[in-house]
Structure 1
Amino acid sequence: MTVEAGPAAEGPEGGPIVGEDGVARCPWAGGPGVMRDYHDTEWGNRVSGESAYLERLTLEAFQSGLSWSTILHKREAFREVFCGFDAEAVAAFGPDDEARLLQDARIVRNRAKVAAAVVNARATVALRGDGGLEAFVLGFAPAQPPAPRTVSELQTTSPESTALSKALKKHGFAFVGPTTMFALMEAIGVFDPHLVGCFRRGAN
């Protein structure tokens, strides 16, 4: 997820903000709503299983150029049309399936991203011979995880996300640039993405 500005003001010197409920959070989750719910219950939590990893990778790719709140509001539709992110099922999609998805207003109708989702499902199936997508991604966890205290210290890429991007591309994945892979690593808790002082920091 690309970090977005929340509806509340940043804390001192761009640090965590304290919401109306008295809880300190990362600034983009300052106000009540779907973004705060995602921050409080999911962002930065470890996930497990191939479908969970494929879902996050797919959603991060669809988010490129859009707000994350848009993706969250369409998430259930994404899960439906992509068969619960069952890699084998999506890998079997053909031109007619892609055309059908491009007519479904409940998701993001972007031809390149829809095609990439199918390509990535096929690449995920192929990656099983190298230990699978989950183990592959976790193999790029940073030895020294970041510990940002303010928004100005936040990264959007890292040597590890750049390396993961290159490695996935070699295995046939698409829409897996360094920024997208950094967002993926944050989302699935490859490292703790929360600001120091956020109540979620260290909670996973």
Structure 2
Amino acid sequence: MQDLVTGEDGLPRCGWAGTGGDYASYHDTEWGRTLHGDDAMFERLSLEGFQAGLAWITVLRKREAFRAAFHHFQIDAVAALTEADVERLLTDPGIIRSRAKIESAISNARVVRDIPGGLDAYLWSFAPTTHRRPKNFGETPTETPESKAMAKALKKTGVKFIGPTSAYALMQATGMVDDHLKGCFRAEG
């Protein structure tokens, strides 16, 4: 994969985004942009869990179905889901039908709703104070001391389906770090 590619619109972007389509749209409008809000952060945490072992494009293309199935990731609504809801969700072809992942999303909602100060502030407390923009994919980490600390702390609270790599992906997706490669039109500074 090339480090940078030129899109159909003539703009240089990170190579993983391709030249158009779903990845490019996600890259251009969401990835690396600052995101806040407990429910918004819970959605990203949940989707990272559903992505485990799969390509992100699989989750990205099912995101609207996930939002419908999981009450737009409103923490209290997800925490209230029952075993009957789990059984119903296991028959929903629009989402990833993994019992372990569905049950963990519900369990995680019950855990994160009780985090003092809220999930948003808690997750952002792990954001690095400095970050160097990568010049190429080889310089882009898959985990950092901060993502290791985040994953460890989340696991300690009882959150499931989180590790240092998925914690770092969450940091990238929510703008805690900006890993748009040098030369990408979305790279700032």
Q: TM-score, normalised by structure 1?
A: 0.89
Amino acid at match of 2:48: E
Q: Counterparts of 1:157 and 1:100 in 2: how far apart (Å)?
A: 35
1:25 alignment partner, SS class: strand
Give CA deviations for 1:87-131 in whole Å, capped at 9, x if unaligned.
11111112111111111111000111111100110011111xx21
* 1:23-102 equivalences in 2 (<5 Å): 23-102=11-90
Q: How does 1:83-162 map to 2 (within 5 A)?
A: 83-127=71-115, 130-162=116-148
Partner residue in 2 for 1:179: 165
CA distance in 1, matches of 2:179, 2:100: 29
Distance in 2 separating the partners of 1:69 and 1:58: 15
Q: Give the TM-score normalised by the residue count of structure 2.
A: 0.96
Deviation readout 1:138-185 (Å, 9 max, x if unpaired)? 101112213110111111111000000011111111111111100000
Q: How many residues align?
A: 189
The residue aligned with 1:199 is: 185
The amino acid across from 2:123 in the alignment is: V
Query: What stretches of structure 1 of length at least 5 have no aligned partner?
Result: none
The residue type paired with residue 55 of structure 1 is E
- Among all aligned residue pairs of Structure 1 and Structure 2, give the percentage whose two residues are the same amino acid: 49
Deviation at 1:48, TM superposition (A): 1.7
Q: Distance in 2 between matches of 1:106 and 1:113?
A: 14
Matches of 2:153 and 2:53, distance apart in 1 = 23
User: Contact 2:143–2:168 (CA<8 Å) still a contact in 1?
Assistant: yes
CA distance in 2, matches of 1:85, 1:19: 32
Are the counterparts in 1 of residues 6 and 19 from structure 2 also a CA contact under 8 Å?
no
Aligned CA-pair RMSD: 1.2
